Structure formats: structure tokens, C-alpha cells
Structure 1
Amino acid sequence: MKKIILVAGATGNLGSRICSALIKRDASVIAIVRAASDPEKIESLKKTGVTIVEVDFDNIDEIAAACKEVNCVVSAVAGLREVVVDLQKNILHGALQAGVARFIPSDFCTDYNPLVPGENRNFDLRREFKGYLDGTAIQAASIFNGAFADILKYNTPVLNLKNNSISYWGEKAEWKLDFTTMDDTAAFTAEVALDDEAPRNLHIASFQISPSMISTEVQQISGKNFAVQQTGSMEDFAQFIKKQREDNPAGENELYAKWQQSQYVYSMFSTHHKELSNGRYADLNWTTASTYLKAFVK
């Protein structure tokens, strides 16, 4: 019998990929969506074989009805407190009311567990929801993928293609950063959703690469020289972020405020995955750093 997996956040970039990965694995997939969801995205999901159920996310009974006979709920929602904490609680309560056995929260990020609370606003919200989730009887599995590899395309300090530079903080030129593509994350998530024995925390990375290693890769691909530069100490970086946040109070209501982006990079240089769960599912093919960088480095 096919397993039934319910996905919240299915119209998002990651959520839609998770749905496709589940369909490829012969799962029955239900996507719960708002009435105001983009019709084109809804139609795209339908074409892949996803069953669409429109719900009021403030109505736990409606969510519970959608969760009937579901084996696992996957949350791929993104937002601030009203989404990561409040809306996810509603989804969780709907799953519990329907007797769903398993729940995958929207923890697609660097593992925040070893980090100091207060260093990353968005991680603190996930940490708060985790505490609530772990107080329930449902079997949870969090997937920590480091950073989505897409950020390497956007001229962040980690790789700036405009000025041919690569930056790091402290003594971390050889510190390995965790990057995972969205497709690799989606494929792994689909496997976890179908795996009743999945552990509480799983760590993945398409590739782990240090600033020095990034320099070697992009120079080989482009033939250009890239400066690997120390921007300052980690303490300097923390103070910079603090001032950046103080100078931009409007960012408190923005999901990806500039200071939040800086907090994410700071977290990447503060912790990394010491053991990966990449080998848990034999049929997955992980994207290499070279393959990924060749797609956009010229």
C-alpha cells in the first residue's frame, strides 16, 4: 500500500520539489494550501499528481481532516513567528488530532542545536518550535542541510564573483561550510518521510567546502585569480551584525533582512556537520562542489 504524505508549504521552492521527489518514489501526496495560493503553482502541483486540499490554517479541525490516514506530515513553510511557530503549531495539532505518527518540521538550515540562543533570529524561532514539538507524542525528524547552495550564486562574502574575492572570519580559511542543493534536500526529505525508522536529527550536505577550497575550485573553472581574505575576527563579525541590526529596526519584520543574512553566515562559521547522514539511502546521488560551481562560474 502506498504511503500517504502530507506537505505544507508545497507551493514554495523547496516544498514543490519535495512533492515531486515523493511522487517519484510512488507516494500518495497531499498538499494543504490556502485559498489565496497562486493558481499557477496549484495547477503545476496537480499536474505532477499531487492532491490539493484547501484549508484555513487557523482551523485545526480542517487541517486534521486533511491529515486523515496520513503517514507523515512534512512542513516546508517559511516565515517569521506567525509561520514558523504559530502556523506550524496548528499543523502539528491537526496532525496529532488525526493520529499522524510522524512529523518533519521546517528545520532546513544549519543545525541550530549547538549554537548560542540569540545569535540567529530565525534559528531561535525554529528552536522555540522544536521545544514545543518535542513535548508532544509525535515522532519527529529534523533535516539539517547547512545552507542552500544557491547562496553561492548571489555574491555574498563567501563567494563574490563581481570582485573575485572569498572572505572568511577568524582563523577559518580551512573551515568547511555545509552546502546542499534544493533538489538534493528534497530527495533526502522524501526518503525520510517514507522511512518510519528515521532518527530525530539528520545532517546532510551535497558538499562540504572551505573558503580555500572554494578558491581552488573557482580558479580552476574560470582561470581567474580569487583573493581569499580574512575580513576580521568572529568577535568583529558579531559586533558588525549587532550594529547592522540596530541600524535597521524595520528588518525585524523582514524574513531575510541584511542582518539576518549576516547572522546566517556567522552561524555557518560557528558550527558545521561533523557526521553526515548522506549514506542512509543508497539510491541518492549527491551534487559535487565542482558540478555545482561549473553551472554558474564563468
Structure 2
Amino acid sequence: MAKKHIAVIGATGQIGTPLTKGLLSLGHDVTIITRAHNVQKDAKLMAFAILGAKIEECADMHDADAMANLLQGVDTLVASVPGSKSIIQQSEPIWLEAALQAGVKRFVPTEFGVHTQAIEMGDGEVFDHKKRFHDLLLNSDIGWTLFYNGGIFDYFLPNLRFFRKITTFGNLELPIYTHDIEDIGYLAAMAVTDERTINKCVQVDYNALPQNEMLALLKQKWPDYPFEYEHFSSEYITKMKESSGDDITAKKGAETDKERWGINYAIYVINKLVAFTDQTLRTTDLYPDYVCKRPEDALSNAAFVFEK
């Protein structure tokens, strides 16, 4: 792939960290745009700078002119930040305006999860916000790539990192496509710099394992461990999607309860964590020789299963 100049917002985040590592390892020029210093971010930013990234501070990331100035000469802008309501409704339109002003060729919005283009309005509040922004993006004069990585091991095997109990949801027989975060970051780095993916959705689709098979593997690998289990039915998920409010009660993440249950509904009830529309390219087709870490291996790894 030809060398490109990529700007990343959210380079120190969960997806942004391996994505930025991947871009640098592939030899691309990387500009990291960050709002301000803090101790946790500074260590990661320093490590990226040592690897060759350029660090640019923007005190007001809602200043389109200031952002456009930092985006001069950039080929692609990637927003690898959590898809909160404020980011989608307030920040991304400004970043898109700045990218257009600077002549950026491609915009990659915050997706990195459920295949938003494959679901309908009303299927989940957070996806409704994203679909409205997609209308703005797809009708602008800029190229785009929507990257969908499916699940992340930490959340989907099954929820070993962020729940006290082994927690399952909805239809246990639905195939759950889930991948290691480092694989997701590297595949994202390849996809957002690939000319074949301009004006396309990209779906990561290497690993598929239903929740009931995950549970069977867990019991097989650790037969003597007294795991506790909890299951939320499809009926309960659907009810909570409709009745929850704007409180934030989850242990991990900043989604409101209504948004969180809408995400669970899309994944575990209507099976849209991974989907394939006419505009969707499969990573197994784009990168057939890429070898991902397997969920079976993670569930056999004591450090993954037992260390939080």
C-alpha cells in the first residue's frame, strides 16, 4: 500500500492505541490530534512520538478552523473515539467540516462495533445518532470508510473483563464474531489506508463462535472453577431497550442505559453485530492471509480468563 498521511483523534483509546501502532508499523505518516495533556495519555503519546508520530494539541476541538489548520496535507482523518451522543452529534460534524475545509480525502467516523448501516432507525438510540451523521457524511464531498470490527474478546468471551459473573445475552446460538484488540487495530490500520475501501463498509469476519460454544469451551478448559452465571433473555433485552432512561449504571463505558440496551438488542436479538450489505467488504476477502488470534486460545489462557 502507498504511504499516506493519517490523522487520528483518540489515539490513546481502546481502539486508537492498536490502530495507531498499526499505522506506524505500516510506515504511514501519523499525526495525533489531542486536546490536552494528562499523565495517562502522555506516556502513550511519548511512545508514539518515539515511533515517529507527530503530536498536535488543539485546545478547542470544536474550532473547525483550528482543526482544519492541523489537517493540512492529511489524506485520511480517523475518529477512533467512543461513539457517545455528544461526539456523534456535536464533535463529528465539526471534524467533518474541518476535513472538508483542509481537503482531506477520506473521513473514518467512530464506528468500530455493530454494523450501523445494516440496521433500521429505531433499533437502538446510539445507532440512530450514527445513521443521521452518516447521512451528512455520505452526502458530503469526501470519501469515507465505515469500519466494523464486531466484538472484542474482553467484552464477548463472555464479558470476562467487565462483569462479576459469566454473563450471556439473548439468543445463545447466534454466531458472535469477536477478535483480539490488537488484531482489530492492525486490520483497521490496513483498511483505512486501502484504496479498495473508499466509500465502502469493512466488516471484520475471521472468528465466529456462538455464546453456547463459548460456555462449553470455558467449562471444558476450567472444569473445577466455580464460575457464576447470569443470562439476560431476548425478551428482557427488548423490554429494557424500550423502557430504560438516560442514567449511566454500567460498570464499563459511558453509554446511557437506553443506549446500552439498544446495543445489546442489535447484537443479541436482531443479530447485527456483523452484517453484510451491498457496500460491505469482508476482511477475509481483503486480507485472506491474515491470521487472527482465536477465541478458543483466549479461553484457554489463564491470564485472560482470571486476570482483570
Scaled to the shorter chain, the TM-score interval is: 0.7 to 0.9
Deviating 4+ runs (over 6 angstroms): 225-230
**2:185 aligns to what?**
186
User: CA 1:166–1:138 in 2, change beyond 3 Å: closer, same or farther?
Assistant: same
Q: Which residue of 1 aligns with 2:141?
A: 137
Task: Tell whether the 8 Å contact from 1:6 to 1:29 is kept in structure 2 after alignment.
Answer: yes
Q: Secondary structure at the match of 1:10?
A: coil
- Alignment deviations for residues 148-173 of structure 1 (CA, whole Å, 9 cap, x no partner): 221136747xx9774xx56443xx33
Structure 2 match to 1:121: 125
1:202-241 equivalence runs, <5 A: 202-223=202-223, 231-232=232-233, 234-241=234-241
Change (3 A) 1:274 1:2: closer
* Per-residue CA distance 1:108-137 (angstroms, 9 max, x = gap): 111122323233222222212111101101
Mark the runs of 5 or more structure 2 residues left unpaired by the alignment.
277-281
Matched, 1:109 2:106: no
Instruction: Return the alpha-carbon distance in structure 2 between the equivalents of residues 124 and 131 of structure 1.
Output: 11
Superposed CA deviations along residues 52-108 of structure 1, whole A, max 9, x for unmatched, are 011231222221122112121111022523212321112211111111111111111
Q: CA deviation at 1:258?
A: 4.2
Counterpart for residue 18 of structure 1: 19
Q: 1:85 aligned to 2:89?
A: yes
Q: TM-score, normalised by structure 1?
A: 0.84
Question: Which runs of 5 or more structure 1 residues have no equivalent in the other structure?
Answer: none
Corresponding residue number in structure 1 for 2:152: 148
What is the distance in 1 between the residues matched to 2:287 and 2:261? Answer: 33
Number of residues of Structure 1 aligned to a counterpart in Structure 2: 288
Q: Is the 8 A contact 2:22 2:186 kept in 1?
A: yes
Give the alignment partner of residue 290 of structure 1, picking from 293, 296, 299. Answer: 296
How big is each residue's C-alpha offset from its partner over 1:175-221, in whole Å with a ceiling of 9 and x where there is no partner? 11122322122111111122122151111145211122112221222
Task: Give the partner amino acid of 1:192.
Answer: A
Is this contact kept in 2: 1:5–1:71, CA < 8 A?
yes
Once the 2 structures are TM-superposed, how far is the Cα of residue 230 of structure 1 from its aligned partner?
Answer: 7.1
Please name the residue that 2:279 is paired with.
Answer: none
Quickly say closer, same or farther: Cα 1:283–1:21, change in 2 above 3 A. Answer: farther
- Structure 2 equivalent of residue 197 of structure 1: 196
State the AA in 1 paired with 2:237: F
Aligned to 1:268, the other structure's residue is in SS state: helix
Q: Partner of 2:32: helix, strand, or coil?
A: strand
Letter in 2 for 1:9: G
User: Quick one: distance in 1 between partners of 2:257 and 2:158?
Assistant: 13
RMSD in angstroms over aligned alpha carbons? 2.9
Q: 1:251 aligns with which of 238, 248, 253?
A: 248
Matched residues in 1 for 2:5 and 2:189: separation? 12
Is the counterpart of residue 277 in structure 1 residue 283 in structure 2?
yes
Q: Distance in 2 between matches of 1:115 and 1:204?
A: 17
CA distance in 1, matches of 2:235, 2:266: 13
**Contact 1:69-1:98 within 8 A present in 2 as well:** yes
* d(CA) in 1 for partners of 2:247, 2:305: 34
User: Normalised by the size of structure 2, how large is the TM-score?
Assistant: 0.82
Alpha carbons of structure 1 residues 51 and 230: separation in structure 2 relative to 1, 3 Å = closer
Equivalent-residue separation in structure 1 for 2:84 and 2:21 (angstroms):
26
CA-to-aligned-CA distance 1:232-281 (integer Å, 9 cap, x gap): 4x3443113433x14xx4339x8234443333222112124355323312
Name the CA shift for 1:257/1:189 in 2 (closer, same or farther; >3 Å): same
Q: Is the 8 A contact 1:176 1:209 kept in 2?
A: yes
Matched residue SS, 2:7 = strand
Structure 1 stretch 175-184 or stretch 113-122: which is displaced more? 113-122
